[in-house]
Amino acid sequence: MAEMEPGTLITLVTIVVSGVGILLGTITPAIVEGRAVLKALEGMTRQPEAANDLRTTLIISMALLESTAIYVLLVCLILIFANPLLERFFPGG
Amino acid sequence: MEGFFPQSVFPIFGIWVRDTVISTWIMMAIVVGAAAVVGRRWPEALEMLIDFLNDTISSAMGRPAGPYLPFLGTLAIFVAVANIIGIVPFVVSPTRDINTPVALALIVFFSVYYFGIRAKGLRGYFKDLASPIFMLPMELISHVSRTLSLTLRLFGNIISTELIVAVVFALVPAFLPLLLVAFSMLTGILQAYIFTVLAAVYIGAGLEASE
């Protein structure tokens, strides 16, 4: 730790934060989407005539839920490939 | 990861044209050519496509899709073809560049106002928008934020599946990426469906009278 180059600490923190962030950011929407599918399937088996409406609503709400995971992914991609902090504190490095 | 993100290719009048723009031109040529050929040889196929779009958009809007079908159907076909054109070698998906989803989402953003004002008039539309007056800021913020989420959803889904394909290709070059390419095609079609349905829902919500 004594001979650390400038920027190594930021890179290290970035990698750890990306890993933890993508972990939490995918687990939560996955659980919530699973519950949404469960409820929709229960509704479909109980009332098969409402299956089409339920399917459309399910797909739309899944897309809305899924986008939270996508936000986390985009933040992690920006941190990994285009880290603004590295360029700000160590220009040209 | 060099060459994965969009690159500028050549300038026209001082504006750099990116490779995603060139693949958009290729895509437009393909779609127009396919529509001409299919429309002459198998018109039933086009009718099936239009019927499907009509049913989907009508059920999403909760009203006959008639006047909105050309706009939303074009959007659906554009996004679907743009998402799956990336499987052609040397052609990148136009939706991989964030500027394409931004442009599409802005078109949806302005078309909500356009269709709403055309249906209800300028005064009627803004009266419905601000029916309890304190809801007006909320409405405007939600219009902006849902445009942002439309953009990021499309862009993030496409770039994530393509990134997964690229990473798996770097690790296991044989056969395994093929399955993921099929998966990315499925994701692309699904995202086009979701984009169209959400645009239809937004336009339909803008048309509804609040009384």
Residue pLDDT tens, chain B, 211 long: 455 667 777 777 777 778 888 888 888 999 999 988 988 888 888 899 889 989 888 888 878 878 888 899 999 999 999 988 888 777 788 888 888 899 999 999 999 888 888 888 888 888 777 777 888 888 889 889 989 988 988 888 888 888 888 888 888 888 888 888 888 888 889 889 989 988 988 888 888 765 4
The mean pLDDT of chain A is 84
The reply to whether residue B153 touches residue A70, judged by beta carbons under 8 angstroms, is: yes
The reply to whether residue B153 touches residue A74, judged by beta carbons under 8 angstroms, is: no
CB atoms within 10 A of CB B15: 8
What 3-state DSSP class applies to B74? helix
Percent of chain A at pLDDT above 90?
33
Tokens of A25: 């950011």
Residues 6+ apart with CB under 8 A from B51: none
Quick check: B94 and B84 in contact, CB under 8 A? no
| Å between B97 CA and nearest CA of chain A | 13
A contact residues 9-48, partner B, Cβ 8 Å cutoff: none
Letter string b/e over residues A43-62, b meaning 16 or more CB atoms within 10 A of that residue's CB = bbeeeeeeeeebebebebeb
Tell whether A80 lies on the interface with B, counting CB pairs under 8 A. Answer: no
Quick check: B167 and B35 in contact, CB under 8 A? no
CB atoms within 10 A of CB B197: 21
